[in-house]
């Protein structure tokens, strides 16, 4: 083949090769599983988050109760006054 015909194919082949290497690297890193240490730490964070969510729900219930008491007291004062 003539050099003029092959010249445009070289950059195209290089782009394809670079893309293939990037795809291979992505597949190789994606297949790795997290270590047991990372898994244990993630479970600890999830457990802590669950505890915080429960505390937040309890705090919200207490706030709702306090708001109801305040509203009731205001209504009683308005009716009496």
- Contact in structure between 58 and 66 (CB atoms under 8 Å): no
Phi and psi at residue 7, in whole multiples of 5°? -55, -45
Span 18-38, pLDDT tens digits: 888 888 888 877 767 778 898
Looking up tokens 């898994």, which residue turns up?
A: 39
Question: If you search the block for the tokens 């445009």, which residue do you land on?
Answer: 8
**What is the pLDDT, as a whole number, of residue 41?**
93
pTM (two decimals): 0.52
Residues 63-76, mean pLDDT to the nearest whole number: 93
Structure confidence at residue 81 as a pLDDT band (50, 70, 90)? low
Q: What is the Cα–Cα distance from 38 to 43, expressed in whole angstroms? A: 9
């Amino acid at each position: 083949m003539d050099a003029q015909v092959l010249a445009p194919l070289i950059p195209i082949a290089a782009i394809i090769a670079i893309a293939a290497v990037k795809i291979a690297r992505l597949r190789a890193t994606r297949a790795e599983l997290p270590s047991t240490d990372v898994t244990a730490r993630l479970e600890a964070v999830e457990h802590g988050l669950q505890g915080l969510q429960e505390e937040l729900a309890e705090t919200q219930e207490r706030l709702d109760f306090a708001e109801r008491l305040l509203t009731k007291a205001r209504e009683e004062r308005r009716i009496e006054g």
